[in-house]
Amino acid sequence: MPEGFPVPDISAAPLIGVLALQGDVREHVRALSGSGARAIPVRRPEELESVDGLVIPGGESTTLWRLAVSFDMLDPMRKMLSAGLPAFGSCAGMIMLADRLVDGAAGQQTFGGIDMTVRRNAFGRQVDSFESDIRLNGIAGPALRAVFIRAPWVEQAGADVEILGTDARADRIVAVRQGPLLATSFHPELTPDTRIHELFVDIVKGNT
């Protein structure tokens, strides 16, 4: 770099990857870009090495799992997560971060990382998609509008898992955090409210 050239302050805008195998990648890239991060799609193991954090989008967890196997991403993802890479999973992404899965497809595997049991399609099928207002620990201000689409819920959470919120309908756990790992049953990327992405950016920066 030429002398006198300003050195960019990377801590001010961390680089966050969005796992781009399947799902609503573009929506997460947009939400992260509006939350003080630089965001890029990631689909290969080498690309994982360059990011400060990773988002696993909503979509379909059985497809994410199958594509992760074909793209040789299952083991690299597991290694990076156990090495402490911060990650945020929404909906299918929450499923992928669960150590244990109920009602998965035959042989379905996850990346794991959060000591929780997640029930897939827990609220019912597509007809049971719904929106509701929800309050989360650690998110200040008015209630969030949460969009649930064939959503999972957390059936059981280990002692190290912080429960951030439950839904008003079934009183089930729908948002959790364990260290640098964050997961929601719903899709904050589908609403203009970026508070959850901002929380994740703060986690990536080590601010919280």
Catalytic positions are 91, 187, 189
Question: How far apart are CB 140 and ligand GLN at their closest, in Å?
Answer: 26
71 burial type by CB count under 10 A (0-12 exposed, 13-18 middle, 19+ buried):
middle
Question: How far apart are CB 11 and ligand GLN at their closest, in Å?
Answer: 31
Give the three-state DSSP class for 198: helix
Question: How far apart are CB 88 and ligand GLN at their closest, in Å?
Answer: 13
Rounded CA-CA distance 91/152 in Å is: 6
Is 38 or 62 the residue whose CB approaches ligand GLN more closely? 62
Alpha helices in 57-134 (DSSP H): 61-70, 74-82, 92-97
Is 35 or 185 the residue whose CB approaches ligand GLN more closely? 185
Is 80 or 149 the residue whose CB approaches ligand GLN more closely? 149
Which positions touch ligand GLN (CB under 6 A)? 58-61, 91-92, 95, 120-121, 149-150
Q: Measure Cα distances from 190 to 28, 40, 53, 85 in Å.
A: 8, 18, 20, 24
Phi, psi for residue 13 in degrees, rounded to 5: -140, 85
Question: How far apart are CB 67 and ligand GLN at their closest, in Å?
Answer: 12
Output the six-digit token pair for 164. 């951030």
Is 60 or 115 the residue whose CB approaches ligand GLN more closely? 60
